[in-house]
Structure 1
């Protein structure tokens, strides 16, 4: 394991899969959701630091999915055990 493994995001974004499943482009999604293609690209590539609930809601409506279909949580390998005194 490298030091960068500890720093990788613990939230993964699955827009690529959802777009492919629906035969939709990022540009089409952008137009339907009302969010710029640049901002959706940042989200899709896992570089976003945050997502507004309004954006997440619009994505779910347009893609006919649940938030868990767009985002998933992956625990870090070296997490701190807070139960250990």
Structure 2
């Protein structure tokens, strides 16, 4: 998939644990883990907004586009 999710990178930069982000964003650990590992197929704007607010970042810091090399 050409969309790369960099939640783990931003969490490391902010020294924030998965549990802490889960509490701040009000999302389950399992759903956050799916998002963090790049296995999610979609994300709600409200969830993206909450993640950006919790990590004090922009959506472009969390999501990245890399075209397929086919």
TM-score, normalized by the shorter chain, greater than 0.5: yes
Return 5+ residue gaps in structure 1 as ranges.
1-8, 79-85
Aligned residue pair count: 70
Q: Structure 1 residue aligned with 2:3, among 4, 8, 11?
A: 11
Q: Structure 1 residue aligned with 2:58, among 66, 73, 80?
A: 66
**CA RMSD, aligned part only?**
0.6
Instruction: Map Cα deviations across residues 39-65 of structure 1 (whole Å, 9 max, x no partner).
Output: 010000000010000000000111110
The alpha carbon displacement at 1:17 in A equals 1.0
Equivalent residues in 2 for 1:38-57 (5 A)?
38-57=30-49
Q: Kindly name which structure, 1 or 2, has the bigger radius of gyration based on alpha carbons.
A: 1
Residue 23 of structure 2 corresponds to which residue in structure 1? 31
Which is bigger in relative contact order (C-alpha 8 A, separation at least 6)? 2
Return 5+ residue gaps in structure 2 as ranges.
none
Residue 3 of structure 1 corresponds to which residue in structure 2? none
TM, length-normalised to structure 2: 0.96
Deviation >6 Å, runs of 4+: none
